[in-house]
Structure 1
Amino acid sequence: MLTWCPLFQRHTFTDEEKRSYIDAELCLMRKPANLGIRGSRTKFDEFQAAHALQTEIAHFVGQFLPFHRLFVWAHEKALRVVCNYTGSQPYWEEELDAGAFSKSMLLDPILGFGGDGAGPNGCIRDGPFANYTNPIGPGYIIHDHCIERQVNDMFSMAALPAVVNRCMNMTAFLDFWPCIEGGPHGAGHGGIGAEMLNPISSPGDPLFFLHHAWLDKLWWQWQAQDPSSRFKEIGGNNWANLTANVGGPPPGVMPPGMSPPPGGFTPVNLTRPDDVPKPAIYGDPGDVTTLNHLLYLYGMVENRTVSEVMDTSGFLCYQYV
């Protein structure tokens, strides 16, 4: 069996490489769903649907980084297997655009992902994804809508080098992971806003995968500082407390000069409705994340343990440049 070892690259693609990646994403948006995941019509939707159903066990928990590592890899594999993509998975090095997401090359209408939302619904107004009808969201709702954005340059300041470096200088996983999830993670979601800001349905914006590839790169770099221990270092809770509304970054992670807008950040209700099945946790009795914790993706790829995704040179077979 032929195994590829793709690179995950910065968004320094040639124009041809940019078109190739976007064309592959558009291909996923045309291919019909076949896994029966709640609300999905296309292969692209399946990723959003799988993410929505596991929101409360994939965020503010120990498996946050491992889960999203496998999730981004599964998406990249779908681009290749389903849509014959042969390029690399790009990541958005958000430190370069921190505080100025609205001017990022990624929001270019021709060679990027389109720009900000407009009109009463905040629909993307230009670019390759402007006419996509998303059947999932906001949140757990099954509802046809456009891909929405509300770009916020202030929120993107949580990707400033000072914030990233603060996390990278931490020596324990139980300090590093919450710092990444609370700071840089919030920069991409809040900086793009709307669809991306909803923790449940955020993969409905294709920028999600470039954002989370960048977060995975940060984890990859952090692990490489001490591989003998950090390829095995995991911990944290298995269940998140999402009963309260969640808005902006938690205290202590906002960079100097950044403060909440008047009236505070817009809260997002993460409470799972009764008609959405409660996700199950496999491999981990109790409420402590271990290397045996099973990462579950509803048949998109084979289920894997946290242990199997700790080192990207294993079956994941990729590296960052």
Structure 2
Amino acid sequence: MLFKSLVILAAASSVLAAPLMERQSNASTCTDPDLRRAWHTLKDSEKKAYIDAELCLMSKPAAHGLRGARTLFDEMQSVHVLQSEIAHWVGQFFPFHRLYLRAHEYLLQTECGYEGAHPYWAEHLDAGAFSNATIFSAENGFGGNGVGDLLCVEDGPFANYTNPLGPGYKVSDHCIERRFADRVSRGSSAAVVEACMAKTNFLEFWNCVEMTSHGAGHGGVGAQMTNPISSPGDPIFYMHHAWLDRIWAKWQEEDPSVRMTEMGGNNRPRLGMAMPGAGGNPFGSGPPTPGLGSMEDMIRPDDVPAPAIIGDPGNVTTLNHLITMYGILPNRTISEVMNTKGSYLCYEYD
């Protein structure tokens, strides 16, 4: 209860303390957007194409020298590890993960020949029953729940992958770990999403989604996905965040003249936020488990420098804030990723 209260208090103070960034144009030059579709609507051949491309990233050597990474898949995870403390409970939460998803999609397409757009997991259809979700099929999905003391995923396409990053900042070999929590996954329900969609400004909307559906998706999958630092080691991470990006995009479309340029919030989490070293975990709670790790794993070590805030003079997130992708994609300002059908990005959701 104390943890929950601290999170709610901190989120509320963020809303009150962070003014909105001045309006700025983001003219669209996207005339033929890619269509990002729900996983359950894809043909089996389309699902296989996506899974094969992800397996390809897991087989290709790392190319950017990022800490602990052996493959391109690991390097995507490392981008998140290196910036996790400025990617959650901050104003760039949505923009950062939008560009991060595009970086993942870009690698799938350019390195592994994937011809589709990035799919998403329509989590509201599985809320309260992640353990029975078809996306976790061993035949044409991401494999099922973890088993044994180590909670290793032992079926499906990713059963044999050795992930060298995590838990947290730790560099250590381990399997992909899951521990479904159906009760926690209820926070992904359509009713919860609708309540967030009803928010009328960015700060309220962002806090609502991050505190509910975001955490429910991570916590509902469990284990590795509950770690706020190294969670992209489970490939379901990208499907979850594509769903969250869809929610944001649909919210923006309801009032585009305002919401395509509406930004605010803090650049670093406020006191009491559940971040590494702050005594909590934003994606779940309970004793250390494989994937989640211990609090020691959550404290940034000396060989991971504090991520820099570039483009904002203070602690208020603006459209000039620069999002860093460590060479996988060119760095972009938040302004450049506000519109999924703008001058840089070119996709839409079904």
Is the contact made by 2:311 and 2:322 (CA closer than 8 Å) also made in structure 1?
yes
In the alignment, which residue of structure 1 is the partner of 2:310? 282
Q: Find 1:294's aligned residue among 322, 325, 335.
A: 322
The answer as to 2:64 corresponding to 1:43 is no
**Counterpart for residue 43 of structure 2:** 14
> Which of 214, 224, 228 is residue 185 of structure 1 equivalent to?
214
CA offsets 1:197-231 (integer angstroms, 9 cap, x no match): 10100000010000000000000000001000000
Residues 4, 199 of structure 1: CA spacing in aligned structure 2 closer, same or farther, 3 A cutoff? farther
1:30 aligns with 2:30: no
Measure the CA separation in 1 of the matches of 2:153 and 2:327: 31
Over aligned residue pairs, what C-alpha RMSD do you find?
Answer: 1.5
Tell me the CA shift for residue 88 of structure 1.
2.4
Contact 1:45 1:136 (8 Å CA) reproduced: yes
Alpha carbons 1:147, 1:205 under 8 Å: kept: yes
Runs of 5+ in structure 1 lacking a partner? 250-259
Structure 2: give runs of 5+ residues left out of the alignment.
Answer: 1-30
- Map residues 193-272 of structure 1 onto 2, 5 A cutoff: 193-241=222-270, 242=275, 243-247=277-281, 265-266=286-287, 269=295, 270-272=298-300
Instruction: Tell me which protein shows more helix as a share of its residues.
Output: 2
Q: 1:271 & 1:172 partners in 2: Cα distance? A: 33
Task: Say if 1:139 and 1:198, in contact at 8 Å, map to a contact too.
Answer: yes
Checking the alignment, whether the CA contact within 8 Å between 1:92 and 1:214 is kept in structure 2 is yes
Aligned runs of 1:119-158 on 2, under 5 Å?
119-158=148-187
C-alpha separation in 2, matches of 1:107 and 1:67: 26
Does residue 169 in structure 1 map to residue 190 in structure 2? no
Give the aligned residue type for 1:273. Answer: P
Cα deviation for residue 266 of structure 1 reads: 4.1
CA distance in 1, matches of 2:206, 2:304: 28
Closer/same/farther in 2, CA of residues 307 and 152 from structure 1, 3 Å limit: same
Give the distance between the partners of 2:72 and 2:34, measured in 1 at CA. 21
CA drift at 1:274: 2.7
- Quote the Cα distance in structure 2 between the aligned partners of 1:173 and 1:246: 25
Q: How far apart are 1:58 and its partner, in Å? A: 0.6
Q: CA deviation at 1:240?
A: 1.6
Asked whether the equivalents of residues 115 and 126 of structure 1 are also in contact (C-alpha less than 8 Å), the reply is yes
Partner amino acid, structure 1, of 2:129:
A
* Kept in 1: contact 2:227–2:281 (CA 8 A): no
Task: Give the letter aligned to residue 235 of structure 2.
Answer: P
Instruction: For residue 248 of structure 1, report the CA deviation from its aligned partner.
Output: 5.8
1-side partners of 2:103 and 2:158: how far apart?
Answer: 21
> What amino acid sits opposite 1:287 in the alignment?
N
The equivalent of 2:5 in structure 1 is none
In the other structure, the counterpart of 1:72 is: 101
Residue 228 of structure 2 contacts residue 282 of structure 2 at CA under 8 Å; is this kept in 1? no
Per the TM alignment, residue 161 of structure 1 is displaced from its structure 2 partner at its CA by 1.3
- Give the structure, 1 or 2, with the largest relative contact order (CA under 8 Å, sep 6 or more): 2
Deviation, structure 1 residue 45:
0.4
What is the number of equivalent residue pairs in this alignment?
306
Instruction: Normalising by structure 2, report the TM-score.
Output: 0.85
1:92-103 to structure 2, matched below 5 A, reads 92-103=121-132
1:247–1:266: 8 Å Cα contact kept in structure 2?
no
Partner secondary structure for residue 196 of structure 1? helix
Matches of 1:42 and 1:6, distance apart in 2:
27
Percentage of matched positions with identical amino acids: 58
Q: CA deviation at 1:247?
A: 3.5
User: Distance between the aligned counterparts of 1:66 and 1:216, measured in 2?
Assistant: 9
Partner amino acid, structure 2, of 1:233: E
TM-score under structure 1 normalisation?
A: 0.92
Corresponding residue number in structure 1 for 2:349: 320
Once the two structures are superposed, residues 106-127 of structure 1 have per-residue CA deviations (whole angstroms, 9 ceiling, x without a partner) of 1100100000000111100200
Which is further off, 134-143 or 235-244? 235-244
Alignment deviations for residues 262-289 of structure 1 (CA, whole Å, 9 cap, x no partner): xx63476343223321111110111000
